Amino acid sequence: ILRGSVAKPHLKPYMASLQMDGQHVCGGFLIAEQWVLSAAHCTEETDGKLFQVLLGAHSLTEPEPHKRLYQVRAQFPHPGSNIHNNKDDLLLLQLEEKAELNADVRVLPFQREDRDVAAETVCEVAGWGTIDHSGRRPDKLHQVERPVISRDVCNHRTRHDGTITKNMMCTDSRRMDTCKGDSGGPLVCNGVAEGVVTAGSRVCGNYKKPAIYTRIAPYAAWIDSVMASADE
């Protein structure tokens, strides 16, 4: 998160850190006791290995009362996701066991009504992604509030030039923005997860390249079907 602030510890108890060999790779969030939602692009460069999921954390390194690293039983990238574009950039992770819910580990509801969030709505996004242009990575969770911008503005030829589909949404990226390592985290508007951070053009903090999110509502049926069909 560029030019945000350190989150208040454990006030975003749905936040997950997707880790590989002890390193934070991407964000994610708890959508059910045994399920985390993130971004399919996060599996690039992991050559088929499974993530580990850190829940209940504020600091990535310090011991905290309810911090716990969960093994992942299976990962389900959306079948439409691919490395060439941002389409269907969602990843479901089934934890090896149900997460122990407590004050620091909570499920976040996601939007099921397929209707655009109004432009100018101020939403918040959090992550352990880079906090400056030299790629410095934080130990503690950062957050930032950003206004939603309309799809028409986001699709302007000087912005994302028509690549933003009805399954995506954008927030203003002037100075404060998401960045490397924030992918997979939730865009939370009025207490509900409306979108999942996708890297898009990978640019951070440039107002010409608004931040892009995969809208969750259009995928509610896919999410429900994967959770229902995955084996115990």
Ligand X SMILES: NCc1cccc(Nc2n[nH]c3ncnc(Nc4cccc(O)c4)c23)c1
Q: How far is the CB of 67 from ligand X (least distance, A)?
A: 24
Q: Is 39 helix (H, G, I), strand (E, B) or coil?
A: coil
Gap between the Cα atoms of 83 and 65, Å rounded: 38
177 binds ligand X per the rule CB under 6 A: yes
| Piece of the chain touching ligand X by CB under 6 A; list 107-115, 137-145, 163-171, 198-206 | 198-206
Asked about 5 being catalytic, the answer comes back as no
Residue of 10, 24, 41, 78 with catalytic role: 41
Are 4 and 143 a contacting pair, CB within 8 Å?
Answer: yes
Of these, 135, 145, 208, 225, which contacts ligand X (CB under 6 A)?
135
Nearest CA to 165 out of 73, 64, 87 is that of 87
**Is residue 41 among the annotated active site residues?**
yes
- Note whether 123 binds ligand X by CB under 6 A: no
The answer to the question of residue 202 lying near ligand X (CB under 6 A) is yes
Residue 112 within binding range of ligand X, rule CB under 6 A: no
**Residue 88 catalytic?**
no
CB of 34 to ligand X, least distance (A): 26
145 secondary structure, DSSP code: E
**What is the closest distance, in whole angstroms, from the C-beta atom of residue 12 to ligand X in the complex?**
17
Catalytic residue selected from 88, 89, 104, 172: 89
Residue 10 tokens, joined: 């454990």
**131 near ligand X, rule: CB under 6 A:** no
Q: Measure the CA–CA gap between 72 and 154, rounded to whole angstroms.
A: 35
Rounded CA gap, 183 and 34, in Å? 20
# chain residues binding ligand X, by CB under 6 A: 16
The 3-state secondary structure of 48-94, one letter per residue: CCCCEEEECCCECCCCCCCCEEEEEEEEEECCCCCCCCCCCCCEEEE
Q: Does 90 bind ligand X (CB under 6 A)?
A: no
Residues involved in catalysis = 41, 89, 183
Can you give the binding site for ligand X, defined by CB under 6 A?
130, 133, 135, 173, 177-180, 182-183, 197, 199-200, 202, 204, 211
